[in-house]
Structure 1
Amino acid sequence: MANDASAVSDAISRDLAALADPFTPPADSTLWRKNFLLGAATASYQIEGAVDEDGRLPSIWDTFSATPGKVLAGDTGAVACDHYHRWEADVDMLVSLGLEGYRLSIAWPRVMDAAGVPNRKGLDFYKRLLNRLKEKGITTFVTLYHWDLPQHLEDRGGWLNRDTAYRFADYADLMSRELAGTVDAWATLNEPWCSAYLGYGNGHHAPGLADGRFATQAMHHLLLAHGLAVPVLRANDPASLKGIVANFGRGTANSDSAADQRAAHLFEVQHNAWILDPLLKGAYPQDLFELWPGTEPLVLDGDMQTISAPLDFLGINYYFRTSVASDGAHGIREVPLEGVERTQMGWEVYPDGLRDLLTGFNSTYRNLPPIYITENGMASDDKVIDGHVDDTQRISFLKRHLAAVDQAIKAGVDIRGYFLWSLMDNFEWAFGYERRFGVVHVDYSTQKRTVKRSAELVAKFLKERKAQV
Structure 2
Amino acid sequence: MSVFKKALHAQVAETFDVPPDSVLWRRDFLLGVATAAYQIEGAVDEDGRLPSIWDTFSATPGKVLRGDTGAVACDHYHRWRDDVDLIAALNVDAYRLSIAWPRVMDRDGRANEKGIAFYRELLQALRARGIRTSVTLYHWDLPQHLEDAGGWCNRATAYRFAEYADLVSRELAGLVDFWSTLNEPWCSAMHGYGTGHHAPGHTSVTEASAAMHHLLLGHGLALQALRRNDPASQKGIVLNVGRGTTDGDRPEDRRAAELFELQHNDWVLDPLLKGSYPAALFEQLWQGAEPPVEEGDLAIIAAPLDFLGINYYFRTNVRGDGNGGYVEVDLEGVERTQMGWEVYPEGLAHLLVGFHERYASLPPIYITENGMACDDEVMDGHVVDGQRIAFLNRHLAAVDRAVKAGVDVRGYYIWSLMDNFEWAFGYERRFGIVHVDYATQRRTVKRSAELVRDFLARRNGRS
- Per the normalisation by structure 1, the TM-score is 0.97
1:338-417 to 2 correspondences below 5 Å: 338-417=332-411
Which 5+ residue runs of structure 2 have no aligned equivalent? none
Identify the match of residue 261 of structure 2 among 254, 257, 268.
268
DSSP 3-state at the match of 1:35? coil
CA positional deviation for 1:22: 2.0
CA distance in 2, matches of 1:220, 1:7: 38
CA distance in 2, matches of 1:452, 1:387: 10
1:336 aligns with 2:330: yes
The residue that corresponds to 1:324 in the other structure is: 318
Check conservation: 1:4, 1:340, Cα contact below 8 A. no
Counterpart code for 1:264: A
1:85 aligns with 2:85: no
The residue that corresponds to 2:167 in the other structure is: 174
The residue that corresponds to 1:143 in the other structure is: 136
Identify the match of residue 181 of structure 2 among 184, 188, 210.
188
The residue that corresponds to 2:156 in the other structure is: 163
- Partner deviation per Cα, 1:267-307 (whole Å, 9 max, x = no partner): 00110000000000000001111111110021100000000
The residue that corresponds to 2:451 in the other structure is: 457
Identify the match of residue 36 of structure 2 among 22, 28, 43.
43
The residue that corresponds to 1:116 in the other structure is: 109
- Partner deviation per Cα, 1:250-278 (whole Å, 9 max, x = no partner): 00022232100100000001100000000
1:73 aligns with 2:66: yes
Identify the match of residue 428 of structure 1 among 422, 426, 433.
422
- Partner deviation per Cα, 1:218-267 (whole Å, 9 max, x = no partner): 00000000000111100100000000001000000222321001000000
CA positional deviation for 1:3: 11
CA distance in 1, matches of 2:425, 2:8: 24
CA distance in 1, matches of 2:291, 2:240: 21
Segment of structure 1 superposing worse, 286-295 or 450-459: 286-295
CA distance in 2, matches of 1:194, 1:4: 24
The residue that corresponds to 1:56 in the other structure is: 49
DSSP 3-state at the match of 1:467? coil
- Partner deviation per Cα, 1:350-388 (whole Å, 9 max, x = no partner): 000000000000000011000000000000110000000
- Partner deviation per Cα, 1:395-419 (whole Å, 9 max, x = no partner): 0000000000000000000000000
CA distance in 1, matches of 2:368, 2:48: 30
Identify the match of residue 232 of structure 2 among 234, 239, 246.
239
DSSP 3-state at the match of 1:56? coil
Check conservation: 2:321, 2:327, Cα contact below 8 A. yes
- Partner deviation per Cα, 1:9-52 (whole Å, 9 max, x = no partner): 4x614xx3xxxx62130111111111000000000000000000
CA distance in 1, matches of 2:16, 2:327: 36
DSSP 3-state at the match of 2:396? helix
Counterpart code for 1:84: Y
The residue that corresponds to 2:96 in the other structure is: 103
DSSP 3-state at the match of 1:346? coil
Counterpart code for 1:378: M
Check conservation: 1:426, 1:437, Cα contact below 8 A. yes
CA distance in 1, matches of 2:386, 2:291: 45
CA positional deviation for 1:118: 0.6
Counterpart code for 1:133: L
The residue that corresponds to 1:33 in the other structure is: 26
Counterpart code for 2:438: Y
CA positional deviation for 1:4: 11
Check conservation: 2:42, 2:75, Cα contact below 8 A. yes
The residue that corresponds to 1:12 in the other structure is: 11
CA distance in 1, matches of 2:346, 2:331: 16
Which 5+ residue runs of structure 1 have no aligned equivalent? none
RMSD, aligned α-carbons? 1.6
Task: Quote the sequence identity (%).
Answer: 70
The residue that corresponds to 2:145 in the other structure is: 152
Check conservation: 1:5, 1:341, Cα contact below 8 A. no
CA distance in 2, matches of 1:108, 1:312: 23
1:24 aligns with 2:17: yes
- Partner deviation per Cα, 1:317-352 (whole Å, 9 max, x = no partner): 000011100000011101100000000000000000
Check conservation: 2:5, 2:374, Cα contact below 8 A. no
CA positional deviation for 1:5: 8.3
CA distance in 2, matches of 1:468, 1:43: 29
